[in-house]
Structure 1
Amino acid sequence: MVQMECQRWASKGINIKYEIRDNRNGYKAGALKEGLKHSYVKQCEYVAIFDADFQPEPDFLWRTIPFLVHNPQLGLVQARWKFVNADECLMTRMQEMSLDYHFTVEQEVGSSAYAFFGFNGTAGVWRIAAIDEAGGWKDRTTVEDMDLAVRASLKGWKFLYLGCLKVKNELPSTFKAYRYQQHRWSCGPANLFRKMLVEIIRNKKVSPWKKIHVIYSFFFIRKIVAHIVTFIFYCVVLPATVLVPEVHIPKWGAIYIPSIITLLNAVGTPRSLHLLVFWILFENVMSLHRTKATFIGLLEAGRVNEWIVTEKLGDALKLKSALKAFKRPRFRIGERVHLLELATGAYLFFCGCYDIAFGKNHYYIYLFVQAIAFFIMGFGYVGTFVPS
Structure 2
Amino acid sequence: MLALLSWFFQAVFLAVVVYFALYVLLELRVFLISRKVERRELTELSHPGAEPEMDFWPPVSVLLPICNESEVVERLIDAACQMCYPAGTLEILVLDDSSDGTTELARVKVDEYAARGVDIRLVRRSSRKGYKAGNLVHGIRQSRGEFFAIFDADFVPPSDFLLKTIPRFRDPHLGFLQTGIGYENRDVSFLTRFQAMEMGHQQYVTVGLSEDGDMASLSGSSCVWRRACVDALGGWNASTVTEDVDLGYRAQFGDWKYAYIRDVVSMSMLPETISAFRIQRERWGRGLIHSGFKHVKLVFHHHMPLMKRMHALSVMFSSVLLASIYGLVLLSLPLTYLVRFDGSGVRWGGLAFFVLVAIWALVNAFGARKGAHLEDRTSILKHLWDTYRYIAMFLPMSWYYFAGGVRALFGVYGDFHRTPKGKEGYRSVLPRINTVLMAGEVFTFLYSLAAVWVAVRTRNYFLVPLDVTACFGFGMVLYWTWKERRAV
The TM-score with structure 2 as length reference comes to 0.67
Q: Tell me the residue number matched to 2:379.
A: none
Alpha-carbon distance in 2 for matches of 1:110, 1:142: 24
Alpha-carbon distance in 1 for matches of 2:129, 2:394: 33
Question: Residue deviations 1:23-48, cap 9 Å, x none?
Answer: 2100000000000111xx23x21110
Alpha-carbon distance in 2 for matches of 1:263, 1:208: 29
1:227–1:287 Cα contact (<8 Å) kept = yes
Q: Which runs of 5+ in 1 are unaligned?
A: 322-331
Say if 1:286 and 1:312 are closer, same or farther in 2 by CA, change over 3 A: same
1:116–1:159 Cα contact (<8 Å) kept = no
- Residue 369 of structure 1 deviates from its aligned partner by 5.2
Alpha-carbon distance in 1 for matches of 2:149, 2:255: 21
Asked if 1:8 is matched to 2:115, the reply is no
Q: Tell me the residue number matched to 2:326.
A: 231
Q: How does 1:237-316 map to 2 (within 5 A)?
A: 237-247=331-341, 248-250=346-348, 252-270=351-369, 271=374, 273=383, 274-297=385-408, 299-301=409-411, 303-313=412-422
Alpha-carbon distance in 1 for matches of 2:188, 2:482: 12
Asked if 1:85 is matched to 2:185, the reply is yes
Alpha-carbon distance in 2 for matches of 1:382, 1:121: 33
- Residue 198 of structure 1 deviates from its aligned partner by 3.8
Question: Residue deviations 1:306-338, cap 9 Å, x none?
Answer: 100001136xx59x99xxxxxxxxxx9x85982
Alpha-carbon distance in 1 for matches of 2:224, 2:240: 21
Query: What number of residue pairs does the alignment pair up?
Result: 362
2:215–2:312 Cα contact (<8 Å) kept = no
Q: Tell me the residue number matched to 1:348.
A: 448
Q: Tell me the residue number matched to 2:470.
A: 370
1:142–1:184 Cα contact (<8 Å) kept = yes
2:283–2:416 Cα contact (<8 Å) kept = yes
- AA paired with 1:46? F
- AA paired with 2:347? I
Asked if 1:74 is matched to 2:74, the reply is no
- Residue 289 of structure 1 deviates from its aligned partner by 1.9
Q: Which runs of 5+ in 2 are unaligned?
A: 1-104, 377-382
Alpha-carbon distance in 2 for matches of 1:264, 1:109: 14
- AA paired with 1:54? F
Q: Tell me the residue number matched to 1:51.
A: 152
1:91–1:383 Cα contact (<8 Å) kept = no
Alpha-carbon distance in 2 for matches of 1:285, 1:279: 11
Alpha-carbon distance in 2 for matches of 1:113, 1:147: 21
Alpha-carbon distance in 1 for matches of 2:288, 2:437: 27
Alpha-carbon distance in 1 for matches of 2:307, 2:414: 28
- AA paired with 2:393? F
2:217–2:316 Cα contact (<8 Å) kept = no
**Greater shift in the superposed pair: 140-149 or 1-10:** 1-10
Q: Tell me the residue number matched to 1:168.
A: 267
Alpha-carbon distance in 1 for matches of 2:323, 2:234: 30
Alpha-carbon distance in 2 for matches of 1:361, 1:35: 58
Question: Residue deviations 1:242-266, cap 9 Å, x none?
Answer: 3234235346424321100111111
Say if 1:60 and 1:266 are closer, same or farther in 2 by CA, change over 3 A: same
Alpha-carbon distance in 2 for matches of 1:296, 1:287: 14
1:227–1:290 Cα contact (<8 Å) kept = yes
Question: Residue deviations 1:226-284, cap 9 Å, x none?
Answer: 331x2233x13444443234235346424321100111111124448441111122111
Alpha-carbon distance in 1 for matches of 2:339, 2:442: 25
Say if 1:86 and 1:249 are closer, same or farther in 2 by CA, change over 3 A: farther
Alpha-carbon distance in 1 for matches of 2:191, 2:331: 26
- AA paired with 1:313? G
State the secondary structure of the residue aligned to 1:377: helix
State the secondary structure of the residue aligned to 1:338: helix
State the secondary structure of the residue aligned to 1:86: coil
- Residue 98 of structure 1 deviates from its aligned partner by 1.1
State the secondary structure of the residue aligned to 2:481: coil
- AA paired with 2:198? S
- Residue 199 of structure 1 deviates from its aligned partner by 5.1
1:46–1:127 Cα contact (<8 Å) kept = yes
Asked if 1:103 is matched to 2:203, the reply is yes
Alpha-carbon distance in 1 for matches of 2:315, 2:437: 34
Question: Residue deviations 1:90-125, cap 9 Å, x none?
Answer: 1111112211110001x1122111222223010001
